[in-house]
Structure 1
Amino acid sequence: MNQDFWLEVKNRFLNFITQIGPNILYALVALVLGVFAIKFTMRVLKRILRKSKVESSLKTFVESLSFFILYGLLFTLIGSILGVEATSFLAIFGAAGIAIGLALQGSLSNFAGGVLILVFKPFKVGDLISVRSNVGFVVKIDILYTTIKTFDGRIIIMPNGNVANSDVDNRTMEETRRIDLSLKFNYDADIDDVRKIILEALEKHPKILKTPEPDVWLDSIGEYDMKITARSWVNSHGYWPAYWEQLEAVKKALDDHGIEIPIPRRLVFQGGEVNPDSIKSEPDQPIK
C-alpha cells in the first residue's frame, strides 16, 4: 500500500511537471524579458520628461504611475501564461481600486486637483498668488499639496483640491502691474497743481515704467473732500516696494508744497435765527 501511494504521488508530480513545467519556464523568460523591457521603457520615459517643460512634481507622478502600470501588465501576462485567467487579475485590481478609493476620498480629490494644477499651470513656483485670503509666494507644488510663503514668513500648506476649486489671483503672471494711489484733498486745492506735484514725484521713481505713462485724475467728489487717483506701472515682482516708496514720495512732495489732507468739517449754528453770514465751519472735535 505504501508503495502504491508513493508511486501515485510520483506519477502525479511528474504529470504536473510535464504539464506546468513549460509554462513555468515561459513565465520565467517573460519575467526576465519584461523586467528589462520595463527598465528600458522607464529610461526612455525619464529622458523624454527631462527634456520637456513639465513640472518636476508631475514628472515624478508620471514616472511612478507608469512604473506601476507596466509591472501590473507584466504580472497579468505571467499569470495568463501560468493559466490564471485575466478576469481574475481585473477583479483583484478593481476591488483594490474601490477599497483605496473609499479610504482616500479626500486625498483623491487633492490628487485630481494636483494633476489639474500641474497640467494647466494656473501658477508656478515663484509666483505671488492669493487663494482663499491667503497671499504668498509659491515655494512648492506637490501632487497633493501646494505650499506658499507669506510676506511675514509663514508657511501655508493648501490641499490641491481646495486650490483647484477656488479663484486663484496670480499677481505675477503678467510682467507688469499697475499701482493705484488713492489720495484725498480739500476743495480749495488746485487740481492742476496737485496733478503736477504728484506726477513729478512719480516720474522721479527709478522703478516706474515710461510706457504706459503715469497719470493723475479726479476720481470722485465726497462730502468734504475730493478723491484723486494716481496711476503708474511697474514690474510685477517689484510691486510692493514700489508702492510703498511711491506713496512716501508723494506724501513728502505734497508736504513740501504745503498741501494738506482734508479734515472732516461741520456747520455750527449759534443763537436763535440763522444768519447766513454767521455760518462758519469748524473741524470735527473728538467727544470728551
Structure 2
Amino acid sequence: MYLSPEHLTNYAETFINVLIDYSPKLISAFLILFVGLYAIRIINRSIRKIMIKRELEPTLTKFLTDILLWVLRVLLFVTFIEKLGIGASSFVAILGAIGLAVGLSLQGSLSNFAGGVLIILFKPFKVGDTIEAQGIIASVSEIQIFSTKLITANNQTVFIPNGALSNGTIINHSMQGYRRADLTFAISYDSDIKKAKDIITNVLKANPKVLKTPGFEVSVKSLTDTSIQLAVRPWATNENFGSITSETLENCKIAFDAAGISIQPFVKGLSKNEA
C-alpha cells in the first residue's frame, strides 16, 4: 500500500487533533492518580497513628491498614480508568472475571486469608504468646495475612498457614499468665513416702519462683510393679516455667541423695522371648 505525502500529512494532523482534544482528559487523569496516591499515603499514615494512639493490637493495626490501603488503591485506579474515558462498568466486569479465575486457582491462599481474619478477630493468641499447634511449640513472632510466623525455643523460624492453624487445635500456654508443671518422681518401695513428700515440699517452699497461689501439690500418683510414683505439681509464671521444672528436678534429686532416698530407674519389662 502506497502512502502519499498528502495521506501522511492528513494522518499526522488527525493524530495531533485527537491528542489535543484528549490531552485535558489525560492530564486530569494523571493528576488525579498522583494526587490520589499521595492522599492515600497520608490517610493510611493518619489511620495507623490513630490506631496506635488508641493502643490497638499491632497485628490488627497492620492488617486493617493494609486492607484499607489496597481498597483505596483499587478505587483510585477505577477512577483513573474512568477519567481516561474507558467505561468503568466494562472494566469492573473484566476485573471481576479475572478475580474469579484467580480465586479458583488460589483457593488455598483464600482459605489462609480467611483463617488470618478469624485469628485476628477471635484472638486465640497474640504476638509474644507461646502456643502449641500442628505439633509445634513455639512463640508467636508475627501474624501475617496468609501465615503465622513462629520462633521455636532453639531459634528456628516456622511458618504455619493460617487456614490450617485456624481450623486445628491451638493450645495457648501464655493466655492465663501462669502455668503448672506436671512432674513425676519414682522412688523405690523401700523409701519412706512421707519423708520423700516432705523433702519435695521443702524444696518447693524454698524456691521463690514457685507461686504461693495457686498452691503446689505433692501426692502419690500410682503404685507400679517397680516403684512408687509421686506427682509434683508446682505453679509458676510463664517466664519462670522452664526454670521451675529444671530447678525442681535438680534440687529434689540432691535432697533425695542427702536423705538416702533412691530414685527408682525405669525398668523395661521382659518379653516372653527374652524371659
Displacement after TM superposition at 1:40 (Å): 4.5
CA distance in 2 between counterparts of 1:168 and 1:157 reads 15
Contact 1:130/1:169 (CA < 8 Å) preserved in 2?
yes
Change (3 A) 1:211 1:65: closer
**Is it true that 1:195 corresponds to 2:197 in the alignment?**
yes
Q: What residue identity is the alignment partner of 1:223?
A: D
Counterpart for residue 97 of structure 1: 99
Aligned-partner Cα distance in 1 for 2:190–2:99? 74
Q: Tell me which residue corresponds to 2:224.
A: 222
Give 1:150's aligned residue. Answer: 152
* Structure 2 CA distance for aligned equivalents of residues 262 and 21 of structure 1: 91
CA separation of 1:29/1:251 partners in 2, compared to 1, >3 Å: closer, same or farther?
closer
Letter in 1 for 2:234: S
Q: Secondary structure at the match of 1:139?
A: strand
The percent identity for this pair of structures is: 36
TM-score normalised by L of structure 2: 0.77
Match of 1:41 among 37, 43, 54: 43
After TM superposition, give the deviation of residue 94 of structure 1 in Å: 0.4
* In 1, Cα distance between equivalents of 2:190 and 2:68: 73
Q: 1:195 to 1:104 in 2, by over 3 A?
A: same
Q: Equivalent of 1:125, from 112, 127, 132?
A: 127
TM-score (norm 1): 0.74
How many angstroms does 1:16 deviate by? Answer: 11
Structure 1 residues 246 and 28: CA distance shift in structure 2, 3 A:
closer
Q: Indicate the residue corresponding to 1:64 in structure 2.
A: 66
| Count of equivalent residues | 265
**Per-residue deviation, 1:233:** 1.0
Structure 2 spans left out of the alignment, 5+ residues: 268-273
Q: Residues 186 and 265 of structure 2 are in contact (CA less than 8 Å); yes or no, is this contact kept in structure 1?
A: no
Amino acid in structure 1 at the alignment position of 2:46: V
Q: Which of 204-213 and 188-197 deviates more? A: 188-197
Partner of 1:210: 212
Post-superposition shift, 1:229? Answer: 0.9
Aligned equivalent of 1:259: 261
Give the aligned residue type for 1:74: L
Structure 1 unaligned runs (5+)?
266-286
Change (3 A) 1:217 1:73: same
Question: How far did 1:194 drift?
Answer: 2.0
**Greater Rg by CA:** 1
CA RMSD for the aligned pairs? Answer: 3.6
Tell me whether 1:167 sits opposite 2:174 in the alignment: no
Q: Which 10-residue stretch deviates more, 47-56 or 244-253?
A: 47-56
CA contact (8 A) 1:58 1:115 kept: no
Paired position in structure 1 for 2:53: 51
Please state if 1:73 is matched with 2:75: yes
For residues 143 and 208 of structure 1, the distance between their equivalents in structure 2, rounded to whole angstroms, comes to 39
Structure 1 residue 55, shift from structure 2 partner: 4.4
Q: Is the 8 A contact 1:203 1:214 kept in 2?
A: no
> Contact 1:129–1:172 at 8 Å: present in 2 too?
yes
In 1, Cα distance between the equivalents of 2:157 and 2:38?
A: 43
Q: Which residue of 1 aligns with 2:247?
A: 245
CA apart distance, 1:25: 8.0
Q: Which residue of 2 aligns with 1:178?
A: 180
User: Secondary structure in 2 aligned to 1:203?
Assistant: helix
Aligned-residue offset at 1:241: 1.4
Q: Which residue of the partner structure matches residue 110 of structure 2? A: 108
